[in-house]
Structure 1
Amino acid sequence: MAITEMNPDGVSGVVDPMGGANQTRVRAYNERLVLSLVRRHGSLSKAEIARRTGLSAQTVSVIMRALEQDGLLKRGDPQRGKVGQPSIPMSLNPDGVLSLGLKIGRRSADLILMDFTGRVRQQLHEAYRYPTPAGIVAFVEKSTATILEAISADDRRRIAGLGAALPFELWNWVEEMGAPREDMDAWRDADIAAMLGERLPFPVFIQNDATAACAAELAFGHGPRFADFAYFFLGSFIGGGVVLNHALYPGRTGNAGAFGSMPFKSRDGGQDQLIDHASVVLLEKLLLEAGKDPSSIWLTPETWDDFGEIPARWIEMTGKALAFAIATVCSVIDFEAVIIDGGFAASVRAQVTEVARRELGKLDLQGIEPPIVEEGLVGSAARAIGAASLPLFSRYHIDQSVLFKEMA
C-alpha cells in the first residue's frame, strides 16, 4: 500500500524499505510482523507466532509481553490441549489504538472514529451538491471537535492520525457533478493533507478512495480468504482496486483498479466508459428524469426512499454492466474472486451482486476461468474504514506485500 507518512516536523517522506537494519529497526519490524499476523488470524498463541515467523520462542515472548504492556495486545482464555501447558491466544486490543478516517465523496463526506480492530465507534455524515477544499476542511474541523469532546483524554492520546480517502483529480468531474468549474478547479492546487495537518494535532495520510475501500476489504473483509481478487466499489461513480498474492497492488501511479475508466460500448453504438453504466449518479439521473427527489440516496444511503421500480431497473443495468467488466478484468488477470461493494444498503449490494453473477453466466467465457463473485463484507463505510486504516498500518503493521508474501 503506498502511504505517505508525516514526520514530527510535518514533512512528508518515505522510509526506504531497502535501508540497513540496526537492532532498533529489527525489533520494530518484528513487532509489526506480530501485530500484522494477529490481525490477519484474529488471535494467535506465542507458539503459533513462533512457528509462522521463524522467530525463537524467547524472542516472541519478549515481543508479545512488550506489546501487551503497551496495550496493543490482550490475552484470551487459556486453551488446554492434550499435553503440556495451556496456550494463551493473544488478540488485538480494540482500545489499544484509535484512528480517524475521512471519506471525501462527490456528493457527501463521512468522518469516522475507528478502533484497532476495525470497529467504527463514531460516524458523522454531511451531504452536499459537490465538495470544495474549504468545505471539507470546515467539516473535518467541526466533526473532529465533536468526536474528541465525546471521548476520554486517554482515548484522545491513542489517536494515531487521520487518513483521508478521496477521488483523485476531482476537477475532471465538473460535468458529471454539475458543479461550477471554478469551484472544482480549486482542487487542482489544494494540498488537502497540508490543509488538514495545519488544523489537526496528529498526522494526516491520503489515499485514493476506491483503493482505500479495497484496502478495507483486504484487511477487514475477504482478504484472508482470497489471495487474488478484483474489487468494484459503487459510489457516486464506480472505482475499484486490485489484490494480488494477498497484497494491495496500487500500480505505477497508485491508480490500479480504475475500473470506472474501462472503455464500454454505449447504448447508441458508440463508445463511453463503465461509469456511464454503473454508478449511483446514474440512479440519481433516472430519478430526476422521473420527477423524483433523489436526495435520500446521499443523505441516508442505507435507507433510500421508496422510488418504485426505478432502483430495480438500475440494479439490472448495473449488474449487467458489471458482468461485462468482470469478464474483461479476468481476461487480463486470472482473479480467484471478484468482490462487489457500494455506498448503499446491504440488500441493494446483494441484488447487484446476484444480477452480476447471473449475467456473467450468460457470457461467452471460453478461455476464462469464471471467478467467484461475492458481496463485500465491509459495506458502505469501506472508504472511510480504509482511510482510517492508513495511520494504523503506517505505525503498527508491516507493509501488506511483505506480510502476505511471507505467510502462505
Structure 2
Amino acid sequence: MDPQAEGVPPEIPSSSGRMRGSNQSGLRAHNERTVLSLIRQHGELAKAEIARRTGLSAQTASVIMRALEAEELVLRDKPRRGRVGQPSIPMRLNPSGAFTFGLKIGRRSVELVLMDFLGVVRSRERLTYAYPDVALVLDFVREAQPRVASAIEARLRLRIVGLGVAMPYEMWSWAEEIGAPAERMDAWRQVDIVAELIAITGLPVNLANDATAACAAENVFGTTTSLDYVYFFVGAFVGGGIVMGGDLVTGRTANAGALGSMPVPRAAREGVAGVRLDGFEQLINFASIHVLEKMIAAEGGDPLVLWKDAGAWDELGTVLDHWLGIAARGLAYAIVSASAVYDFECAVIDGGFPENVRARLVEATQRAMVRLRRQGLTPLDIRAGTMGASAREIGSASLPFFARFLLDHRGLSAEAA
C-alpha cells in the first residue's frame, strides 16, 4: 500500500544518506504515533501488517514495536500461526499504558472522569448546579481530582498524561436563558481557565468546545459507521459537529458545526408555556433541554431534577411529548439546511438524556423530516448516537491522548503547559 495514500510520510533520508538528529527524532515520533493510531483503529495488528500499512521497513517496524512495548503502551497477544512461515504476534494497546482526566464544564453540571488508553472510563465524579460559577467549578476540580485518581493504583497514576476540557465557547452568553446572574457568568469572560486548571492539576491541559468534543468521542470511540455525517448533541443547549471523510472538521476559527445557531422557522402557537411564536429563532430555542426546563417550570415542577435523577425523565408525561415535538421539528429543519451545504450520509443525534428519550427524539425527527421539502437534496439517514450523556467527558479525555500519542488530523485543540 502506498504510504502517502494514507497520509503517512515514508522514511526519507537526507542528501547525505543519513538522517539529521532532529529530523530523525521527529520522524521516529511520527512513526510511533502512526503505529499506535493504526493499532487503536484496528484493535490489534502484527508487525508485518504494520509495516505493510505504513510503508515502514520490517526492521523499522520492529524497532518501533519494541520501544512501544518497553514503554508498556502496547501488549503482545498469543502468536498466531498461518499457513506458511513464522507465526505472527498481534500487538494491542495496553489499557493501563496511559490515562487522562476529562473535564466537562456544562451549564447545569460539571463532571470529571479518569479514562484509560482504550477509552474506558475508570472513575468519575459529578456536581449539579443551577448555573456554572467559576470558583465552584475550580473548587470541584481541586477536591475531586485525587478521589477520581484513586481508582487506579499509585504506580499507574504516574501515567496520567494530561487533562482534557470540554466546555461551551462564550460560557457567559445566554445567561438569561438559564436564569444565571449576569455578573457571575461574566466571570467566565475574564478567567484564563486553562491556566487555572494547570495550576490546580499540574498537568498539561487541552481545551475544546463541548459539542465538538462530543462529536470527537462519537468519531473515535463510537460505532457510527459513516465517514460523512452532521452531529447534534442536545444538552442544556444544543450544539454539534461535522465529520467529513472520517475527520472532524473544526473550521478556520474552530467554530464549524455551531449548529445551535442555525435559524429555524417558528410555527404559529408553537412555543413554551403558551407563548405565540412566529418568524425565525435559533435551534437552541427548539432542541435544547433548557426549553424543556422552562416547560417543566411553567407546570410548577423543578426543572433541575432532570440533571440530578435520570429516572425523572420517565415521569414527565405530556410535557416531554410536547418538547420532543418541538425539538424534532427544529432538528429536522437544521438537518435539511445542513444537507443543502454538504451531502452527508446521515445525521447523528445524541444528548444528555436517557437512551429511551434519545430513541424517541430520533423517531420524532424522522417523522418531522417527512413533512419538509427536500427536492434536489441527497437523501440521508437519521441515526442515534452511540456515546450518550458521557460523550463530552469522553471526548475531552481523548484530547491529551491525541496530543501525546496518536495522530490527530482533526486539529481539535492547542496544548498549553
Please report the TM-score for the alignment, with normalisation by the length of structure 1: 0.90
Q: Indicate the SS of the match to 2:183.
A: helix
**Partner Cα separation in structure 2 for residue 300 and residue 85 of structure 1:** 56
**Partner Cα separation in structure 2 for residue 368 and residue 91 of structure 1:** 42
**Partner Cα separation in structure 2 for residue 327 and residue 299 of structure 1:** 34
Task: Give the AA of the match of 2:261.
Answer: S
Residues 80 and 308 of structure 1, relative CA distance in 2, 3 Å threshold = same
Tell me which of 396, 409, 416 is aligned to 1:387. 396
Task: Give the AA of the match of 2:49.
Answer: E
Which residue in 2 is equivalent to 1:295?
304
Q: Indicate the SS of the match to 1:188.
A: helix
Contact in 1 for aligned 2:263/2:334 (Cα 8 Å): no
Contact in 1 for aligned 2:217/2:398 (Cα 8 Å): yes
Which residue in 1 is equivalent to 2:55?
54
Which residue in 2 is equivalent to 1:314?
323
**Partner Cα separation in structure 1 for residue 83 and residue 330 of structure 2:** 55
Superposed CA deviations along residues 71-115 of structure 1, whole A, max 9, x for unmatched, are 111122333332223322221111000100000000111100000
* Number of equivalences: 382
Q: Indicate the SS of the match to 1:240.
A: strand
**Partner Cα separation in structure 1 for residue 351 and residue 161 of structure 2:** 27
Superposed CA deviations along residues 31-82 of structure 1, whole A, max 9, x for unmatched, are 0011111111222222221121111122112111211111111122333332
Contact in 1 for aligned 2:99/2:115 (Cα 8 Å): yes
Q: Indicate the SS of the match to 1:311.
A: helix
Which residue in 1 is equivalent to 2:262?
262
Alignment of 1:281 onto 2:281: no
Contact in 1 for aligned 2:231/2:348 (Cα 8 Å): yes
**Partner Cα separation in structure 2 for residue 179 and residue 134 of structure 1:** 15
Contact in 1 for aligned 2:123/2:151 (Cα 8 Å): no
Q: Indicate the SS of the match to 1:339.
A: strand
Which residue in 2 is equivalent to 1:328?
337
Task: Give the AA of the match of 1:39.
Answer: R
Q: Shift of the alpha carbon at 1:202?
A: 1.2
Task: Give the AA of the match of 1:74.
Answer: L
Contact in 2 for aligned 1:331/1:368 (Cα 8 Å): yes
Contact in 1 for aligned 2:250/2:410 (Cα 8 Å): no
Which residue in 2 is equivalent to 1:353?
362
Contact in 2 for aligned 1:112/1:388 (Cα 8 Å): yes
Which residue in 1 is equivalent to 2:375?
366
Contact in 2 for aligned 1:246/1:401 (Cα 8 Å): no
Which residue in 2 is equivalent to 1:405?
none
Q: Shift of the alpha carbon at 1:302?
A: 6.6
Which residue in 2 is equivalent to 1:15?
none
Residues 69 and 389 of structure 1, relative CA distance in 2, 3 Å threshold = same
Please report the TM-score for the alignment, with normalisation by the length of structure 2: 0.88
Matches within 5 A, 1:133-282: 133-222=134-223, 225-267=225-267, 268-282=277-291
Which residue in 2 is equivalent to 1:23?
24
**Partner Cα separation in structure 1 for residue 127 and residue 410 of structure 2:** 35
Task: Give the AA of the match of 1:167.
Answer: P
Contact in 2 for aligned 1:68/1:74 (Cα 8 Å): yes
Alignment of 1:121 onto 2:109: no
Alignment of 1:400 onto 2:409: yes
Runs of 5+ unmatched residues, structure 1: 1-19, 403-408
Q: Shift of the alpha carbon at 1:390?
A: 0.8
Superposed CA deviations along residues 298-349 of structure 1, whole A, max 9, x for unmatched, are 1134763512222222222212221111111010011122111101111111
Q: Indicate the SS of the match to 1:131.
A: coil
Task: Give the AA of the match of 1:240.
Answer: G
**Partner Cα separation in structure 2 for residue 232 and residue 150 of structure 1:** 32
**Partner Cα separation in structure 2 for residue 97 and residue 159 of structure 1:** 6
Which residue in 2 is equivalent to 1:105?
106
CA RMSD, aligned part only? Answer: 1.7
**Partner Cα separation in structure 2 for residue 179 and residue 192 of structure 1:** 19
Contact in 2 for aligned 1:303/1:345 (Cα 8 Å): no
Residues 302 and 28 of structure 1, relative CA distance in 2, 3 Å threshold = farther
**Partner Cα separation in structure 1 for residue 136 and residue 310 of structure 2:** 21
Task: Give the AA of the match of 1:226.
Answer: S
Residues 283 and 132 of structure 1, relative CA distance in 2, 3 Å threshold = same
Task: Give the AA of the match of 2:37.
Answer: S
Task: Give the AA of the match of 2:181.
Answer: P
